[in-house]
A and B are shown apart, each in its own frame.
Chain A
Amino acid sequence: MLIPRDRLRSRVRVARLIVFLPLLFISPAFVNTCFFMFFHLSWRSRITFVFGLSVSLAVASTRGQVISPPFVAGFERFARHGDLSLAEAGDLLVSELSCVACHESANSQLTPKRGPTLVGTANRFSEKWLREYLNDPSEKKPGTTMPHMLGHLDDVQRQTVINKLVSFLGTQKKPFQTVRATGAVAVMHEFWNQGDPLRGRNLYHTVGCVACHQPDAKQKTNQTAPTAVDQMISQLDTDELEELGLLRAARRVASVPHGDLVGKYTRQSLTMFLLRPESVRKAARMPNLRLSPSEAADVTAYLLSEKGSEISSKETVVDPAMVSEGKALFVELQCSNCHDATDVASPRMATPWEKLNPEGKHKCWTRPAAAMPYYKLDELQVDAIKSVLKSESMTAEINAAQWVHSRMLQLNCYACHQRETELMKDGGTGVLGGVGRYRKPYFEMVQQVDLGDEGRLPPPLTGVGSKLQPKALKAVFDQRTPAYRRHMKARMPAYHATAVEALVENLPVADRAGKKSESTVFGNADESLFRAGHELSGTGCVECHYFRGESLPGVVGLDLAGITTRVRPEWFHDFVLDPGALKNRTRMPTFFPDGKSNRLDLLDGDVDKQIASLWFYLKDLASQPLPEKIEKVRSQNYELRPVDRPIVLRSFMQDAGTHAIAVGFPEGLHYSYDSEKIRLASAWKGRFIDARGTWFERFTPPAEPLGESLMHFPQGQPFATLDRKDVRWPAWEDQAKWYQFRGYRLDAQGVPTFLYQFAQWQIEERIVPMGQRGLRRQWNIKQEGINAAAPRDESVTLNLCVHQAIKLTRNSGAQVDGGGLQTRLVKLPQGVNGSGDRIIKDERGERWIVPVNGKDQQTVVVEYAW
């Protein structure tokens, strides 16, 4: 199989080369532009365009030089199309190309991105790749933001320098961090070798990688119908699009190039990078997609379609002289300005940024004569940077909105999120960003439910600073925060706090977040508000939302638990009042058309109070009842409802302990039995029991009776042997050794009969409802053999405790009441004729006990009514 496939592949490669040879000189961005234009031009223009394209191709091929300017996502997407002012574009390039890593500046907006840390390079990258990359970074990795640092050297000199640098980098070893396995995180042995490329391919195309990187056109997506706008866009030509202001939405977004991953990484190093990109690239341009170890291995297996590089773990002979020369060069060539390495001298700075002359003799964008960086910028990029250099206002304070905009460009938040932004070039505002129409198909929901784009695309961030509470905003970026929009396959990446500080601080200011406290907006909570909130949430919210993990069937939406710690009270008020006003085209409907409530019966129809009631109900959701409809569904799934036959459930219960057996009857009478201490523990009427905790909860909460008229039965075992003069009922602890629970048997109707042994007596106990009034309890007692425990003394007899309460009242010979329970002896044990029974007292109160003839088979029946 392998050989033919390889051959086939090489043939295809040759075919590709022949067919597309002329196109080899074009940058990805250029290709994008071409195709975008091509498809949106009229026919006549297309012909002209093709002609022009051929000419420029011819020109490019005669130049014989690779044009591969650095790829900066925000620049490609926005600056090239005039969405940014030249100064904004310049600022972005200055930070992304790390200009001020050498040309120091106090302007924090220009903070250099810097390159990845090179500590550990020796374990991470193949040496061959490193050599090729140093030889000419942008040739090895088109679009790289790393400048050519050896452009001033001839081939021979360059090889010598590379040898030295590589020798030095070979000393940069750092073992990969150990990935801790826990009960929650599976970590296979050498998990980086265990990836599954198919799973990796799916992850790559769904969790968010393709927001920035190139999707594979072959990847199947769940074809979600394009939105009306997208449909329209596909039918319009450029002029029409421009007229309608849709050019930006129609545009194809270029992808951040991967470079030669196979030649560069080992499976382990790429897996570890995907798992924790921030450990290598602190600037977080590549964010942490919250992959599990096995997921990171899967994506690696997909990306390194071939096996990836091998890095020999064997120690190679190192020439110390080469290493130390390499180390000196690392500083000398200003590598250390952008890259951390262990044990290197402090970086060599160049002319401070503010003192640079854009028209001076030495420029970083022309091939240098001496050692200095060489960025292969194109004309627009040079102009943009020059505009920053010339700018007078360079050190001027920028406002919060500009900070947000600038940071979102740098981190490429716009790849996923839309946000309305001031456009400095013309002073107006416009919506920038979003996943773009060609990438939308890769954003899917976990289940196939049509919630439109809102259900599958990352949320727009217009106004987000006035929506989220500061803590919640910060938490969005925190790796420990669980996913909020669980219905989406795409994941919000995690960022280190320092990477997003500017956003967390400036978003609320930029969006003019209100500072009103909860009590200013909603007043104070009270019982009537809780009740109204419970009622209101059940009429609309439940159709689309979860409530602490519970929902109506088929509902896909956000869980409202915790919402009051997430959004600001003012925003909640305004949003619930009129969702569309805060969020364009949201699926959330208004429940207050024209600002009026249609529930005039609740809180006098006061809209503000009704919204406040929702807020307070949700705030207290953990201890509030679920909305009724949800409660009903829940009970359908987990409430045990005996219809034809009794239902038995073994569980932990408050009354009946850890050996509880609950029995429910269709008559609506139910009881719990403690099979450890062998006693009827409690009984109740109405609904039986909810089994969810018993069936499906790891932490085994006690099962709670659902009905009413809960009756607690006496403590203590049913039988004991007593001397006629005994006035104390023995404690269970002293009797336990004589008792043995033996299980139960179900009769044809499904009614259990409990079986147990007390000393030498085998006892069967059966409890059934007595209409709606109470329970009928029957014991069959049989002596089996002579046990050492048998009381030989004639004065010692078997006794049954029929009732126990603080105070007992004898109603008639056969009925004793107490503790809310009427107890009647229906079938007397032999030997009892109304006089043998007695009431004894101990510290627990009074007990009604009946002597039982222990020699013959006996049946005793008692009725309990309450």
Chain B
Amino acid sequence: MVMRSLNLTHFVSVLGFWLIGIQPLVSVVAADDDYYRLLSVATSKAPTESRSKNWKPSPEGLPLEISGMTFLDDQRLAVAIRKGEIWILDGVYDEPASNVTYKRFANALHEPLGLLQHDGALYTAQRSELTKIRDIDGDDVADEYLTAAKGWAVTGHYHEYAFGPKLDADGNLWITLNIGMGLKGDQLKRAVPDPPLGYRQGRWRGWGMVLTPQGELVPMCAGMRSPAGLGANAAGDMFYTDQQGNWVATNSLHHLRPGVFFHHAEALASMNEPGSTIKSVEKVPAGVPLPEAMMQFPQLRPPAVWFPYKRAGQSPTDIMLDTSDGKFGPFSGQFFVGEFTQAGVNRVFLEKVGGEYQGACFPFRSGFASAVLRLAQGADGSMFAGLTNRGWSSLGNASYGLQRLVWTGKTPFEIQEMRATPDGFDLLFTLPVDPESAGDPASYAMQSHTYLYHSAYGSDEIQKQDLTIRSATVSGNGRRVRLVIDGLRELFVHALDADGVRSKAGLPLLHPDAYYTLNHRPE
């Protein structure tokens, strides 16, 4: 039979015969599109590879490598681009977005990596300072570039990016500062002299800082590696995302608060600087599992969410709070986190347990045209994604640009919330479940793991354990399932696979995987 069809195919294609019209090419249309449509406002492909030393933008159009986004009003979107300019875009909501206008508002910024409209001005973090930019004479072109804050070291190492700002509930503007990597030559002259523990980094590298409403720049917390994303939740508490690498086991989301240490030990170079909130760390544990490291190093706090590597992205970026109140689907109040390498967006649900934030991440959407660096929510609830993959690389067929994700109004079958309970997890689904599959413990699987805390690049998932699902109980309204699970471990990531669950209408979950970081078990 097989030989026959082969000969046939062969024969047919040789002739270009009419029958070939029905070659069985089943195009697997991404079901994602049924729920969230991905539209392009502008995307371009550079003629060079993303990591090329001779990188060049497309010869046509603006090099729209978006590194910051803020809506000026219901229509106009301001974007920062990596070459150091701010542009004001109008017409981005059009479908198709074929008449977008671009107006340059500001230039001469050194790799700005954030943009915020605040206090009648645009704020952006450049490599060397936080800048407040205003148009004084009313021609829509900036003429005032005021230094809102500076004072962190810039040794000249490329990796010393500065991100932000974003505004918290207390009116603080947060910025996060990348760690440098292997400083050399003149860079070392700009490092903290005679640093504690011998770590060679510039002042405040690897720290989160705030500019207070009083105009003071204050160091708050430390241990960041590459904090490319910032974002406040509905309560106005500020979070940041970090990227896997040295000291950072895998990608993570952290609640920013004073005196907390996250991972990267070299940030301790600034421990003795005036204003430091981290004191008297004498020894940094290395090569031990994280739960143990935290006992040896009390300032070290776990992230609210770990993103298991590859399974929930490879390099998280911006944090967008869905404030659309349902206009962007069923996830209002949750975080969406940009994903650089895999050109996508993940979703995060947070709850407070034992006074601290923890929660779960879920894959949400892939297939963007390039690396997602920035996210912003439009007035209609749609998500705008600023793209650029230069310097690293990403999936997708473009190098940079702007895309928009619009909810179709159709609710995807997803795990909407995942809450910890004393003996398991409580799942809230976006749609009523099929009681039979959802009530069957065999429809679920769970495995827990933690990571090593060490100076090496990333960590394997260690101390893996398969857990037994004791029971799965569907609640009255059919949207909640209570899982009772044996062997939960605090400070471990609990990976849930709910592949067997079906909705009442018989649909499988769009994303059956969820990863809960169980720092505390509720009492």
A residues with a Cβ closer than 8 A to B are: 5, 8-9, 12-13, 15-17, 19-20, 23-24, 26-28, 31-32, 35, 66, 68, 139-142, 181, 183-189, 194, 196-198, 201, 214-218, 252, 255, 257-260, 263, 294, 301-302, 305-306, 548-550, 553, 637, 647-652, 658-659, 661, 675-676, 691, 694-700, 702, 740-748, 755
Contacts and interface: CB of A to CB of B under 8 A. Distances in A.
B9 A214 contact: yes
Contacts of A306: 24, 26
B235 interface: no
A694 B109 CA distance: 10
Interface in B103-141: 107-111, 126-129, 131-132, 136-137
Closest 6 CB pairs of A and B: A549-B54, A698-B391, A695-B83, A648-B108, A743-B146, A650-B110
Contacts of B111: 700
B57 A696 contact: yes
A8 B156 contact: no
Contacts of B19: 12, 15-16, 19
B505 interface: no
A183 B392 contact: yes
Contact of B110 (A5, A19, A651, A696): A651
Nearest to B65: A696
A216 B108 contact: no
A548 B56 CA distance: 13
Interface string B1-21: 011111111111111100111
Contacts of B257: none
A743 B134 CA distance: 12
Interface of B: 2-16, 19-28, 30, 48, 51-57, 59, 63, 82-84, 107-111, 126-129, 131-132, 136-137, 142-147, 150, 154-156, 158, 190, 309-312, 314-315, 341-343, 363, 366, 390-395, 513
A548 B54 contact: yes
Q: Is the interface of B mostly helix, strand, loop or mixed?
A: loop
B26 A20 contact: no
A5 B129 CA distance: 60
Contacts, number: 207
Contact of B128 (A8, A302, A675, A694): A675
A88 B389 CA distance: 51
Nearest to A637: B56
Contacts of B21: 218
Contacts of B341: 181, 183, 186
A641 to B, nearest CB: 15
Contacts of A698: 51, 55, 158, 390-391
Nearest to A13: B5
A648 B12 CA distance: 65
A695 B154 contact: no
A491 to B, nearest CB: 14
B84 A676 contact: no
A216 B13 contact: yes
Contacts of A637: 56
Nearest to B21: A218
Contacts of A24: 3-4, 7-8
Nearest to A138: B3
B390 A696 contact: yes
B128 A659 contact: yes
A415 B273 CA distance: 67
B147 to A, nearest CB: 4
14 contacts: A9-B22, A9-B24, A68-B3, A183-B341, A186-B395, A189-B311, A189-B363, A189-B513, A197-B28, A216-B23, A218-B20, A306-B24, A658-B156, A744-B144
A649 B25 contact: no
A183 to B, nearest CB: 4
B395 A263 contact: no
B153 to A, nearest CB: 8
A148 B392 CA distance: 50
Contact of A31 (B10, B24, B127): B10
B11 A23 contact: yes
A522 B22 CA distance: 62
Contacts of A184: 51, 392-393
Nearest to B134: A745
B366 A658 contact: no
Nearest to A195: B28
A748 B144 CA distance: 11
Given A12-B22, A35-B15, A694-B84, A186 B146 contact: no
B25 A305 contact: yes
Given A214-B13, A550-B54, A658 B128 contact: yes
Given A32-B14, A696-B57, A743 B342 contact: no
B418 to A, nearest CB: 17
Contacts of B26: 5, 197, 305-306
Contacts of B8: 16, 20, 23-24
